[in-house]
């Protein structure tokens, strides 16, 4: 795994106006791999984690593999819950 795969990110991050999270987040900067439905893996960085979810950061190619629709997961979307 190349270091660039983990360091890449596809978006610029802004502060949230209001935080709707149900649980506190634990900030981290850990490398990980996501196993895709076909058994392939792709490299990501875990940004934060809580009992309610995890925030991943990755490059555009990895994002397309993880979420082929290419749109942001919005609040209330079951994929983001």
pLDDT at 4 > cutoff 70:
no
Q: What is the C-alpha to C-alpha distance for residues 63 and 76, in angstroms, rounded to an integer? A: 20
Please tell me the distance from the alpha carbon of residue 68 to that of residue 23, in angstroms, as a whole number.
28
- Residue 7's SS3 state is helix
Q: In which residue are the tokens 């979420």 written? A: 67
Average model confidence (pLDDT) for the chain? 79
Encode pLDDT of 43-52 as tens digits. Answer: 999 999 999 8
- How far apart are alpha carbons 54 and 80 in whole angstroms? 10
Domain locations in the chain as residue ranges:
1-9+26-51+60-69
Q: Is the pLDDT of residue 72 over 50?
A: yes
Lowest mean pLDDT among 1-5, 17-21, 59-63: 1-5
* Percent residues over pLDDT 70 in the chain: 62
- At residue 67, the pLDDT reads 86
The model's pTM is 0.64
Cα separation, 46 vs 27, whole angstroms:
9
How far is Cα 79 from Cα 68, in angstroms, rounded to an integer?
A: 13
């Amino acid at each position: 795994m190349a270091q660039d795969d983990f360091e890449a990110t596809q978006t610029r991050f802004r502060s949230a106006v209001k935080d709707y999270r149900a649980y506190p987040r634990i900030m981290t900067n850990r490398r990980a791999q996501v196993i895709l439905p076909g058994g392939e893996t792709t490299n990501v960085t875990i940004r934060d984690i809580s009992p309610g979810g995890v925030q991943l950061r990755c490059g555009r190619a990895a994002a397309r593999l993880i979420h082929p629709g290419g749109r942001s997961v919005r609040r209330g979307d079951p994929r983001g819950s």
